[in-house]
Amino acid sequence: MDMARAWDLQKSAGSRNESVSIQFVRQVLEKKARRGHEAVMPFNYYWAYDFSTAKPLDWLLKRSFDILASLLTLVLLFPFFLLIALAIRLDSSGPVLFSQVRVGHRGKRFHMLKFRSMSQDAEFRQADLLEDNENEVMFKIKDDPRITRIGKFLRKYSLDEFPQLLNVLKGEMSLVGPRPPLPREVSMYQPWHHSRLSTLPGLTGAWQVFGRSNIQNFDQVVSLDFYYLENFSFLNDLRLILRTIPVVISAKGSY
């Protein structure tokens, strides 16, 4: 089933039953268990299923494309990245790049890179803004006061994400996959939420294409990630990359 159609059906079902996401994941895992998949663990275990080894050829194509596309993009857009770096330095004090610990494949932590789009003391100020958070797990505020002037532009068109191409080259991330969570967010996960850590995190993915920050229910975010993982193929990765382009240009759901 096409991912867009599957998500439409899931949203429709979700309006009738808030537990549809959990039911869907449970049904898929139980089906795999009946088929004798050794990689499937009990539902309440930390890892639901290792999707990275489910389709070796598709995974090889995915990783090869990650490396080639990341290298080509970094080389071709390097002058543009220098302009972004200059704009950041002129706009506010602090480093050009922002490094933050995130949780990746099977819980491995790594330092994710971004062009800095917030004030230098942003992480220290987050505790004062928790009551304004719009998502029960991920920290999201529509008009975050910590965002700088140039940061608003960078985040609107996802330009702040480009340094993560270096994370892709290092094998810590992929071009397509679930977004990497913060350790604090993972500590709030329900057991079935950990299925989204069964593969490399990505720069873009189903959540960005089919809703982005407009989706406030974290169960729906995880359900989208699970749809991607369950239907993983290199061709679907290419489709999501192509679908990401108009979403980024239109700035749909970005903040």
Q: Kindly report the number of other CB atoms within 10 A of residue 92's CB atom.
A: 15
Q: What percent of the chain has pLDDT over 90?
A: 45
Label residue 25 by pLDDT band (50, 70, 90). low
Is the predicted pLDDT of residue 4 greater than 60, yes or no?
Answer: no
> With 0-12 CB in 10 A as exposed, 13-18 as middle and 19+ as buried, what is 36?
exposed
Is the predicted pLDDT of residue 51 greater than 80, yes or no?
Answer: no
The residue ranges of every structural domain in the chain are 3-250
Tell me the pLDDT tens digit for each residue of 100-110.
Answer: 999 999 899 99
Structure-block tokens of residue 106: 């099977």
pLDDT for 251 equals 76
Mean residue pLDDT of the chain comes to: 80
Verdict on whether the full-model pTM lies above 0.85 = no
| 223 closest CA partner among 247, 207, 200 | 207
For residues 77 and 210, what is the distance between their CA atoms, to the nearest angstrom? Answer: 27
Tell me the pLDDT tens digit for each residue of 113-139.
Answer: 999 999 887 777 776 676 666 666 776
Is the predicted pLDDT of residue 14 greater than 60, yes or no?
Answer: no
Residues 88-102, mean pLDDT to the nearest whole number: 95
Label residue 45 by pLDDT band (50, 70, 90). very low
| 101 closest CA partner among 180, 168, 179, 165 | 180
